[in-house]
A and B are shown apart, each in its own frame.
Chain A
Amino acid sequence: MDIAFLLELSANGILIGLMYALIALGIVLIFKSSGIANLAQGAMAMVGAYVAWALLVLAGMPLWLAIPLSLAIMFFFGTGIERVALRPMVGQPVIMVVMLTLGLEILLRGLAPAIFGTAIKRLDLGIPQAPIIVGPVLINTAYLVSGAVALGLVLLSIMFFGTRLGTVLRAVSDDQMASWSVGIFVERAIGLSWGLAGVAAAFGGILWGSVQGVDWTLSLLLIKALAIAILGGLDSIPGVLIAGVIIGVLESVVPAFLDPHVGGGTRDVVASLVILLTVILRPHGLFGREDIERV
């Protein structure tokens, strides 16, 4: 076996997994606070990328201003979704709320290209195209930068849930009625988690948009993000990190060895198999909380 080949595939796989993890982070943040799987996270990433592009290119803002402003806009976009669409759904079955987020995904997927135009947009973050070469291993600079940003954000999120505000969110996630009864503003806490999910989506959308250009296909990141969230455990932020790396590496390494023998197409099979095995063998994921109920 060619070790350099394996190392290169693994290194880039880890970085890509971290970038996927950024989208998954938004799903977990919302699930952790409200128990809802947000199926609009892919479209939110796409909207974040379109917003950044609009500020950079249409409004002509410098990068240092456009990126923070996009993040702020996406924070309020997230809280706005919670306020306008989710809050009236209080008391409805969870499945209805999940379906609502799916509807939102479809709506945004159509709306953003209709507003900004369907052609792919260039989102230039100034990351050099030249790769970084470590010995025989070639590492994609864009993935390295993006992976580092993703890692930082996931770690920040882990720390955030150790703070007082994070504890409030966890309490809301555990039991909304009990949280209400002890004076926690549950709606505000859930709104905050949606805002943070908006920020995570914006980071993910901007980083992926810088790699592939900005268009509707960014919303398809949802699929990978869901796979990572399920494997890691829907309520575990460290799980996002580990699952991102696992899926990234598997998706990178396995097809390189299997594809030549079966004619291609094994990459998506790897992700699907991981989801299938997780659901069968460990439904709460690697690090998710296994609730035990007394019957």
Chain B
Amino acid sequence: MVKIGLAQDFTAVYTFVTSDYNQGQRDYFTLINERGGIDGYTLQVDVVDTANQPQRGIEAYERMKNDGVVLVDFLSTPVSRAVVPRALKDQVNMMTIMHGRSDAADGETFPFIFPMSPLYWSQAASIVKYIADQENGDLKGKKIAFVGIDSPFGREPLPIFQALADKEGFELSIFHYPSPGNEQSATWTSVRRVRPDWTIIWGAGVGQTVSLREAIRNGIKLDRLVSNAWLSEVDTEIAGREAAKGVLRFEGVAYGKDLPIIQAIENEVVAKGKSAGPAEKVGSSYYNIGVAGAALVVEGIRHALEKAPGKLAGPQLKAGLESIANFDAQGLMPPVTISARDHQGGGKGRICQWDGTRWVPKTDWYAASQDLVWELVRKTAQEFKASGN
């Protein structure tokens, strides 16, 4: 038996994503168990609510560690950050897909921390690359407005945007709204005033919904409005499916049910009444991110057991995860390659667009400006080494 700890926020800040994400993870683990496990090992999942509180996360981590988990996932940047030093010391693997500290991509500094997905810095770089491509490669003199939540998460991509603004010659205007973002009218009045050529929104949950609605009300062209990965069909539903038509987002994991891995879950888990949540959530954006993370973990376990049959503690799983190569979970995500140095896995994603009923890919999977991203990763990882924080 392999034990995995999912100590996540079901009741406080990230409720908008946790239930779908967690359901996706558990459904995929159930699929693997239904198929007999991995080399005879079945997966056991321990689910705990942290309410996004680092202290509760630490308590859950300590209990799960004593219970023998080999991997934990908090789906919370503040909780993950709080547990990083312990996980490194205890040699317990921590998955931080689409969240967590970006410098954890540096596997040499953070050997047991695994983002395994495009960092926020990679997401920002990919968005700027998309915009540049639409402008025939020339961003000189263009105005790009950044509208983000006023929190460490909302400020995280700014160094990359600033660096790219200097390099590409575009004018970056930055607007922050207070958390949680339920009222942004003054912010968008200011945005409209600068007449941006493109607008980038950087929030999550209710902040994203309100950003989208305010953009629509302020006459911002939605096919020139790009979000990070945390914009889902729930947001477009609330803003109005038709009204939200055209909005763009970065995605690191494909959306929808039309994927072999999701169909397998439908047939072998959901149809048997074994799903961990409502059937209508299967294939949703956040559900699929959960499946992608679980698939990467299972792939890591598979590799670990190949390398060291019969032995699966933290260090063995780490080695297994670090030998994942070109794994795309049958088209669910871009090919991910993880090494001891690179825990990001390549940083590839794509831009997709809301067509009124679903998200449609506008590009192939790609990564952008990884030289700049890694410069920043190494710089902040060095700071962690020096300060332990």
Give residues in A with beta carbon < 8 Å to B: 2, 5, 8-9, 12-13, 16, 110, 113-114, 117-122, 129-131, 138, 140-143, 208, 211-213, 215-218, 220-221, 251-253, 255-256, 259, 263-265, 267-268
Contacts and interface: CB of A to CB of B under 8 A. Distances in A.
A122 B206 CA distance: 11
Given A110-B11, A143-B185, A259-B176, A138 B234 contact: no
Contact of A255 (B16, B18, B182, B186): B186
Given A213-B238, A217-B205, A264-B175, A208 B189 contact: no
A121 B183 CA distance: 17
Contacts of B209: 120, 212-213
A122 B174 contact: no
B16 A118 contact: yes
A221 B178 CA distance: 13
B362 interface: no
Interface in B229-270: 234-235, 237-238, 240, 243
Interface stretch (B76-84, B135-143, B213-221, B374-382): B213-221
B103 interface: no
A252 B189 CA distance: 10
B182 A12 contact: no
29 contacts: A5-B193, A8-B189, A9-B186, A12-B186, A113-B11, A114-B11, A117-B19, A118-B10, A119-B19, A120-B205, A120-B238, A121-B238, A131-B219, A138-B192, A138-B217, A142-B217, A212-B182, A212-B213, A213-B238, A215-B206, A216-B15, A217-B180, A217-B182, A217-B206, A253-B186, A256-B189, A264-B174, A264-B175, A265-B150
A8 B19 CA distance: 39
B210 interface: yes
A264 B190 CA distance: 12
Counting from the closest, the 3 A-B pairs by CB-CB distance are: A264-B176, A118-B15, A213-B238
A129 B176 contact: no
A259 B194 CA distance: 15
B342 interface: no
A212 B206 contact: yes
B24 to A, nearest CB: 14
Contacts of B177: 267
A4 to B, nearest CB: 9
A131 B190 CA distance: 16
Contacts of A256: 186, 189-190
B27 interface: no
B299 interface: no
Contacts of B235: 120
A213 B235 CA distance: 9
Interface in B145-183: 150, 174-178, 180, 182-183
A215 B15 contact: yes
B186 A251 contact: yes
Nearest to B218: A138
Given A5-B193, A120-B205, A129-B216, A16 B175 contact: no
Contacts of B18: 118
B214 to A, nearest CB: 8
Contact of A268 (B19, B178, B185, B190): B178
Given A211-B210, A213-B206, 7 more contacts: A119-B15, A119-B19, A131-B217, A208-B182, A264-B174, A267-B178, A267-B186
B210 A119 contact: no
B73 interface: no
Contacts of A264: 150, 174-176
B20 interface: yes
Nearest to A257: B190
Of A110, A251, A259, most B-chain CB atoms within 10 Å: A259
Contacts of A212: 182-183, 206, 209-210, 213
Contacts of B193: 2, 5
Of B175, B182, B210, B234, most A-chain CB atoms within 10 Å: B182
Contacts of A113: 11, 15
Contacts of A118: 10, 15-16, 18-19
B234 A259 contact: no
Nearest to B9: A118
A162 B22 CA distance: 54
Nearest to A212: B182
B185 A140 contact: yes
B183 A16 contact: yes
Contacts of B180: 217, 220
Given A113-B15, A217-B205, A264-B175, A13 B237 contact: no
Contacts of A122: 237-238
Contacts of B11: 110, 113-114
Contacts of B240: 129
